[in-house]
């Protein structure tokens, strides 16, 4: 049997993280410049249920039976087994490689879930449609992150810009003009689950304050949608920066991220904000001219450890 390969891209949240968990709209886009790749090959001489897993990025090389029950890879494989009512699995070797930095707000865990579900179900001869892949990846995300909105697994499964409201069917977005983004890594790893849990504690203490911030973020997402679908994209810059201010009020930024946002704005960015869970991870910066190195150079000088230049092209 030939080896089966599946990939899934990274993602960035253009506007609306955290408020998305409270059913306000968010806009997310795939980051095709980074990806998870899963390759599954048969081990014809192996015993059934003997599954070798190799993931060099997290120094993992083990038999599945050696992993904890709540290990993300075990959880994903168990979800697939249950969905397919498969009692036993053929012996196989699963190799997972990734260029998506983990714990950086770029959707690494959802991308592993999507690529592994896709590869495994194809390998077992039961390829699934995107709706089902997205549902299973959401279940995996829930086991890892507590109360995710579902935006990460959705944008990564469908690999297109989306307008997302928790609990509702997502809406694919058409893109009127090129959207040039710099995605700048602060170099500070951060757990989305922990930050989401902190925001929940704040919301429980002063719900009216948090609800007002979520409403304001939702309103920015609606305005940004219009910029993306009808232009001008330049006008989205101020919306991103306003979103950053609201994320500061939620307590999900920090001094390094704030400094990098300011450096981006001072060197000519149209807008900049934290993207994803925050308290570290990545910023997104909207730029007019991706060939001008000025903003990226300034961000690197100010402590960003890596910059991805990513463009969302008009959908025509």
Q: Are 20 and 149 in contact (CB under 8 A)?
A: yes
Task: Tell which one of 13, 35, 181, 233 touches ligand MEV (CB under 6 A).
Answer: 13
CA angle, residues 311, 315, 316, in degrees to nearest 5: 130
Which of 89, 112, 181, 196 forms a contact with ligand MEV (CB under 6 A)?
196
Q: Which of 17, 76, 104, 246 binds ligand MEV (CB under 6 A)?
A: 17
Residue 31 interacting with ligand MEV (CB under 6 A): no
101 binds ligand MEV (CB under 6 A): no
CA distance 272 to 275: 9
Alpha helices by DSSP H, listed for the chain, are: 72-84, 108-123, 130-145, 151-158, 192-205, 207-230, 236-250, 255-266, 294-301
Q: Does 183 bind ligand MEV (CB under 6 A)?
A: no
| Closest separation in Å from C-beta 26 to ligand MEV | 7
**Within positions 142 to 161, which residues make up the interface with ligand MEV, using CB under 6 A?**
148-149, 151-152
Number of chain residues interacting with ligand MEV (CB under 6 A):
14
Q: Which is nearer to ligand MEV, 18 or 180 (CB)?
A: 18
For residue 89, state whether it binds ligand MEV (rule: CB under 6 A). Answer: no
264 binds ligand MEV (CB under 6 A): no
Tokens standing for residue 179 = 């959207």
Chain mean position to CA 64: 25
- Position 92 contacts ligand MEV (CB under 6 A): no
Asked whether the bond before 216 is cis by omega within 30 degrees of 0, the reply is no
Question: Which is catalytic among the residues 33, 49, 129, 152?
Answer: 152
Q: How far is the CB of 108 from ligand MEV (least distance, A)?
A: 10
Closest approach, Cβ 218 to ligand MEV, in A, equals: 12
Q: Interacting stretch for ligand MEV, rule CB under 6 A, among 15-23, 44-52, 217-225, 283-291?
A: 15-23
Q: How far is CA 267 from CA 185, 238, 245, 256, in A?
A: 17, 15, 19, 17
Q: Is 152 a catalytic residue?
A: yes
Of the pair 74, 108, the CB lying nearest ligand MEV is at 108
- By C-beta, is 94 or 101 nearer to ligand MEV? 101
Sign of the Cα torsion 165, 171, 174, 176 reads negative
| DSSP secondary structure letters along 165-217 | -TTS--EE---SS-EEEEEEE-S----HHHHHHHHHHHHHHSHHHHHHHHHHH
Q: How far is the CB of 93 from ligand MEV (least distance, A)?
A: 31
Residue 109 sits in the site that holds ligand MEV (CB under 6 A): no
In the complex, the smallest distance separating the C-beta of residue 208 from ligand MEV, rounded to whole angstroms, is 20
Tell me the window of 10-18, 32-40, 255-263, 293-301 that interacts with ligand MEV (CB under 6 A). 10-18
Rounded (10°) CA dihedral 289, 290, 293, 294: 40
Please tell me whether residue 185 binds ligand MEV under the rule CB under 6 A.
no
Give the C-alpha separation, 235 to 224, whole Å. Answer: 8
Torsion of CA 184, 185, 191, 197, to 10 degrees: -30
- Tokens representing residue 204 in the block: 């429980």
Q: Which of 6, 8, 14, 20 binds ligand MEV (CB under 6 A)?
A: 20
Provide the 8-state DSSP code for 38.
E
Residue 188: CB minimum distance to ligand MEV, A: 16
- Name the site residues for ligand MEV (rule: CB under 6 A): 13, 17-18, 20-21, 105, 148-149, 151-152, 192, 196, 276-277
Known catalytic residues are: 152
């Amino acid at each position: 049997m030939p080896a089966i390969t599946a990939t899934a891209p990274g993602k960035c949240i253009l506007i609306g993280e955290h408020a998305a968990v409270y059913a306000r709209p968010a806009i997310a886009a795939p980051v095709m410049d980074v990806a998870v790749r899963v390759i599954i090959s048969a081990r014809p001489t192996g015993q059934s249920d003997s599954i070798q897993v190799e993931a060099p990025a997290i120094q993992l090389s083990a038999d599945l039976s050696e992993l904890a029950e709540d290990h993300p890879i075990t959880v994903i494989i168990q979800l697939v087994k249950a969905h397919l009512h498969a009692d036993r699995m053929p012996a196989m070797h699963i190799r997972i490689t990734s260029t998506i930095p983990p714990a950086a707000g770029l959707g690494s865990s959802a991308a592993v879930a999507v690529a592994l579900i896709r590869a495994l179900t194809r390998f077992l001869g039961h390829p699934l449609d995107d709706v089902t892949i997205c549902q299973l990846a959401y279940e995996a995300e829930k086991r890892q992150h507590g109360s995710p909105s579902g935006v990460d697994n959705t944008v990564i499964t469908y690999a297109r810009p989306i307008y997302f409201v928790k609990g509702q069917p997502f809406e694919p977005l058409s893109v009127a003009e090129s959207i040039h983004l710099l995605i700048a890594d602060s170099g500070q790893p951060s757990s989305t689950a922990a930050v989401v849990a902190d925001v929940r504690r704040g919301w429980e203490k002063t719900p009216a304050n948090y609800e007002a911030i979520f409403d304001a973020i939702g309103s920015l997402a609606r305005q940004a949608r219009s910029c993306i679908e009808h232009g001008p994209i330049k006008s989205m810059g101020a919306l991103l920066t306003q979103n950053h201010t609201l994320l500061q009020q939620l307590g999900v930024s920090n001094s390094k991220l704030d400094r990098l946002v300011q450096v981006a704005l001072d060197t000519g960015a149209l807008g900049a904000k934290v993207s994803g869970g925050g308290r570290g991870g990545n910023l997104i910066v909207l730029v007019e001219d991706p060939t001008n190195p000025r903003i990226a150079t300034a961000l690197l000088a100010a402590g960003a450890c890596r910059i991805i230049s990513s463009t969302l092209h008009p959908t025509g």
